[in-house]
Chains A and B, each alone.
Chain A
Amino acid sequence: MIRLSESNPSIKKEKDKMNKTIRRKNLLKVSGITVGVLALSSTLLVAPSQAAPATGSPIKVGVLTDMTGAFAIVGKSNKAVAQFTIDEINKSGGVLGHKLVMDLADGGSAPDVATQAASRLVNQDHVSMVVGGVASFTRVAVRGVIATRGKTLYVWPASYEGNECTNNVWNTGSAPNQQVDPTVKYLLAQGKKTFFLAGSDYLYPRNILARVRQDVLAGGGSIVGEEYVPLDMTDASNLTSKVVAANADALFEVVVLPGTAPFIKGVVDAGYKGTIAGTLFDEGINPLIGTEAQGLIGVQDYYGPIKDAFSQSEVAKFNAQHPEAKGLFTSTFNAPAWYRSIYLWKAAVEKAGSFDTAKVNKAMDSVSLSKSIGGPVGFAPGTKHLKLSMYLGQSNGDGSETVLKSLGQISPYQCSAATN
């Protein structure tokens, strides 16, 4: 399509100029690398130990979230929750006599940006621990930098697809057994026999729907269709038609934003009468779905109207102190998990009597909180996952949630291959 004419003198001149620039760039690169290597070796020589902070000196808590990019709204919530929790801990005397300070790093909703941000937290700022990550790709990208090579405690505070059992990594969000199992159990108990599974084509929806399939078949139901749409497919009307044609009793959907709203709207508008369930519905996401959110079923570790005095008063305080994130304290934005992450780490540090990663890592294994937003939580030894209080919820057209049932504490997820 585009032809470069070699005989054209102006193009030749351009090329000469380009070659010169390239040579200059190479030179710059080489000198840059040299300086970099020198700088690196000097940091390695003088790298201070994070193990024993001076008495009373502040402790840095690494907060890694997406302040920019697609998940910026989640980042806004995460940052406010982290600040709220840290302020609360500092007001009650800090941790082992040390005040906490937030060290915020922007993951940019992209794994490469998150990796650099995590590296800064661990290698330059020498934070005591890192809490964060919004999407699973961020966790997968940064866990090596923080936990494995960085030898720093990493708390992953998100509802996710399961199977994270790396050493020094602790999962404080809900796992498929806590979200999917009770949802499917409820649908089966409601007399739903046939299921259609629909999701975006990547790791999280595929793993969640694999669990749904397993649960449905084990419970005597049947799967009448399973379909994945590419993340860049802007119009899922074909999938909508398949769902309507299959006419299953229930639709379990994990089509992620921005596809969620058009998909659900398409299915509802086309006359689908079955129940729609999923893992990503609550007060945070419902407003993005609109009035079609009416009747969506799901299970989360927290909903606004849960009957828990501690949660109610804490969230009220949060909304008052952080008006910029008012209404963003929701389960799908991982707010309750962020809150408990910092408190669980505090409990582990106090139990270990030290900020040393190895000691805190050992203590984490069995810490628990008698109260937290959403209800009491605790690590079950050897699982790296929490025993969590879960709730069955139904979305309303105005974006709010109705809690159908409090499910109590659900036992933690078990890694199939523990690497710890």
Chain B
Amino acid sequence: MSPSVIRGIFDVFSLTSILVLLVLGMAIIVGMMKVFNMCQGEFVLLGAGTAYLSYQYFGSVLLGILLAPVVVGFFGLVLERTVIHRFYANPQGALLATFAIGLVIRETVQTRMAAQSSLVPAPISSSVNIGGAVLPIWRIVIMIVTLVLALTIALVLLKTSVGLKIRATLDNPELVASSGISTKWMYAWTYALGAALAGFAGAMIVPLQTLYPNLGYENLIPMFIAVMIGGLGQFAGPIAGAALIAIPGGVLSQFINPVSSQILVLCFAIVFMRFRPMGIFQRGR
């Protein structure tokens, strides 16, 4: 295989793993909880910001990556208990409220930033030569971490009692509540988990980009498309959805220009939604 073919394949895997990593949190909040969380992108931004601040004050991006899910998860917990829980019966309200929260976070970051964008170095900045193609190790780390994280979450949700409680709460809260489980806190912790995952993703990807106020917001649309294609109601759908738009996007843009490939992928998403409006794992009705 020529180096450019290796690079091409690598790019597709890299772009796909990044989108899947970004979508993990959304798969829980939007996919499973069905909260149209417009501030999901800002959770990503806050995670990236945590990595940046940790680099600035403690000189360690790695520490920031570990702190990001804790910080953003706690933020998500507080947000759920103060705002989000009021909107479970009112999806339009949730849409607006979370959009407003996202706007406030974005603008706050904007005014607090000294420059247009800030650099955050990768914890591992070296590259590895595979068959003549020089590939950055940090992207490989992201691929492995994404795979491990996605499998772990899926296992926890499907095989453990905590996962069972979460799924039961989202499926039939009355029944769960009457079984003596606090649905209030199940919702809050599930939302916090979704936020923590987004924060972690932000901290992981910011070394590949730079920290700027729209970092999360610009990823929001592909994230939402992934969830819509994947379908609501379960965890695996959005993950498959992310792969389904990232792979053609990555392959196409190697042959045609990125602008056209973006348009084609969006067209594909529209056509797909027309024929499978309930998502990839749509069951016969």
CA distance A149 to B196 in the complex (A): 53
Are the C-beta atoms of A241 and B11 separated by less than 8 Å?
A: yes
Query: If the complex has contacts A69-B110, A229-B258, A234-B215, are A288 and B11 also in contact, measured as CB distance less than 8 A?
Result: no
Are the C-beta atoms of A2 and B210 separated by less than 8 Å?
A: no
Are the C-beta atoms of A241 and B4 separated by less than 8 Å?
A: yes
Are the C-beta atoms of A270 and B116 separated by less than 8 Å?
A: no
Are the C-beta atoms of A238 and B253 separated by less than 8 Å?
A: yes
Are the C-beta atoms of B134 and A269 separated by less than 8 Å?
A: yes
CA distance A288 to B259 in the complex (A): 26
Per-residue 0/1 for B181-200: is the Cβ within 8 Å of any A Cβ (1 yes, 0 no)?
00000000000000000000
Q: Which chain B residues lie closer than 8 Å to A34 at the CB level?
A: none
Of A53-61, A176-184, A186-194, A255-263, the one touching chain B: A255-263
Chain B nearest CB, measured from A13 CB (Å): 13
Chain A nearest CB, measured from B222 CB (Å): 9
Query: If the complex has contacts A73-B116, A288-B119, are A234 and B219 also in contact, measured as CB distance less than 8 A?
Result: yes
A290 at the interface (CB under 8 A from B): yes
Q: Which chain B residues lie closer than 8 Å to A269 at the CB level?
A: 125, 127, 134, 136
Identify A241's interface contact among B127, B210, B254, CB under 8 A.
B254
Query: If the complex has contacts A2-B91, A230-B258, A234-B218, are A270 and B134 also in contact, measured as CB distance less than 8 A?
Result: yes
Identify A233's interface contact among B7, B114, B250, B258, CB under 8 A.
B258
Are the C-beta atoms of B117 and A257 separated by less than 8 Å?
A: yes
Q: Quick one: which of A238-262 are within 8 Å of B by CB?
A: 238-239, 241-242, 244-245, 257-258, 261-262
Query: If the complex has contacts A244-B7, A288-B116, are A235 and B258 also in contact, measured as CB distance less than 8 A?
Result: no
Identify A235's interface contact among B119, B127, B133, B208, CB under 8 A.
B208
A227 at the interface (CB under 8 A from B): yes
Per-residue 0/1 for A202-242: is the Cβ within 8 Å of any B Cβ (1 yes, 0 no)?
00000000000000000000000001111011111111011
B15 at the interface (CB under 8 A from A): yes
Are the C-beta atoms of B209 and A237 separated by less than 8 Å?
A: no
Residue of A with least CB distance to B6: A241
Q: Which chain B residues lie closer than 8 Å to A241 at the CB level?
A: 4, 7-8, 11, 254
CA distance A232 to B215 in the complex (A): 9
**Interface size of A as a range:** 35 or more
Are the C-beta atoms of B116 and A257 separated by less than 8 Å?
A: yes
Identify B218's interface contact among A69, A71, A232, CB under 8 A.
A232
Identify B254's interface contact among A72, A242, A257, A271, CB under 8 A.
A242
Chain A nearest CB, measured from B229 CB (Å): 13
Q: Which chain A residues lie closer than 8 Å to B258 at the CB level?
A: 227-230, 233, 236, 238-239
Residue of A with least CB distance to B262: A230
Chain A nearest CB, measured from B233 CB (Å): 12
CA distance A72 to B115 in the complex (A): 7
CA distance A232 to B258 in the complex (A): 11
A70 at the interface (CB under 8 A from B): yes
B14 at the interface (CB under 8 A from A): yes
CA distance A233 to B266 in the complex (A): 14
List the count of A-B residue pairs having beta carbons below 8 Å apart: 103
Chain B nearest CB, measured from A229 CB (Å): 5
Are the C-beta atoms of B127 and A233 separated by less than 8 Å?
A: no
CA distance A73 to B254 in the complex (A): 35
Chain A nearest CB, measured from B216 CB (Å): 10
A365 at the interface (CB under 8 A from B): no
CA distance A71 to B214 in the complex (A): 13
Query: If the complex has contacts A228-B257, A241-B254, A270-B134, are A71 and B209 also in contact, measured as CB distance less than 8 A?
Result: no
Per-residue 0/1 for B121-151: is the Cβ within 8 Å of any A Cβ (1 yes, 0 no)?
1000101000001111001000000000000
A167 at the interface (CB under 8 A from B): no
Chain A nearest CB, measured from B49 CB (Å): 14
CA distance A373 to B214 in the complex (A): 35
Are the C-beta atoms of A261 and B136 separated by less than 8 Å?
A: no
A356 at the interface (CB under 8 A from B): no
Are the C-beta atoms of B116 and A70 separated by less than 8 Å?
A: yes
Query: If the complex has contacts A2-B92, A227-B258, are A237 and B110 also in contact, measured as CB distance less than 8 A?
Result: no
A68 at the interface (CB under 8 A from B): yes
Chain B nearest CB, measured from A115 CB (Å): 20
Are the C-beta atoms of A261 and B119 separated by less than 8 Å?
A: yes
Are the C-beta atoms of A258 and B254 separated by less than 8 Å?
A: no
Are the C-beta atoms of A238 and B250 separated by less than 8 Å?
A: yes
CA distance A288 to B209 in the complex (A): 12
Are the C-beta atoms of A258 and B208 separated by less than 8 Å?
A: no
Are the C-beta atoms of B259 and A237 separated by less than 8 Å?
A: no
Q: Which chain A residues lie closer than 8 Å to B115 at the CB level?
A: 73, 287-288
Q: Which chain A residues lie closer than 8 Å to B65 at the CB level?
A: none
Chain B nearest CB, measured from A322 CB (Å): 16
CA distance A257 to B113 in the complex (A): 14
Identify A245's interface contact among B4, B114, B214, B253, CB under 8 A.
B4
B179 at the interface (CB under 8 A from A): no
A201 at the interface (CB under 8 A from B): yes
* Max count, chain A CB within 10 A of own CB: residue among B111, B125, B210, B212: B210
Q: Which chain B residues lie closer than 8 Å to A245 at the CB level?
A: 3-4, 7
Are the C-beta atoms of B259 and A228 separated by less than 8 Å?
A: yes
Identify A262's interface contact among B208, B213, B254, CB under 8 A.
B208
Q: Which chain B residues lie closer than 8 Å to A73 at the CB level?
A: 114-116
CA distance A18 to B114 in the complex (A): 42
CA distance A377 to B43 in the complex (A): 49
Given A228-B258, A235-B208, A271-B127, 8 more pairs with CB closer than 8 A? A68-B111, A201-B259, A229-B258, A237-B139, A239-B258, A245-B7, A262-B208, A270-B127
What is B's interface to A at a CB cutoff of 8 Å?
3-4, 7-8, 11, 14-15, 18, 91-92, 110-111, 113-119, 121, 125, 127, 133-136, 139, 208-210, 212-215, 218-219, 250, 253-254, 257-259, 262
- 26 A-B contact pairs sorted by A residue (CB < 8 Å): A68-B110, A68-B111, A70-B213, A72-B110, A72-B116, A73-B114, A73-B116, A227-B257, A228-B257, A230-B258, A230-B259, A233-B262, A234-B219, A235-B209, A236-B258, A238-B258, A244-B7, A257-B117, A257-B210, A258-B209, A270-B127, A270-B134, A271-B127, A271-B134, A287-B115, A288-B116
Shortest Cβ-Cβ A-B pairs, 5 listed: A258-B117, A271-B134, A258-B212, A245-B4, A238-B253
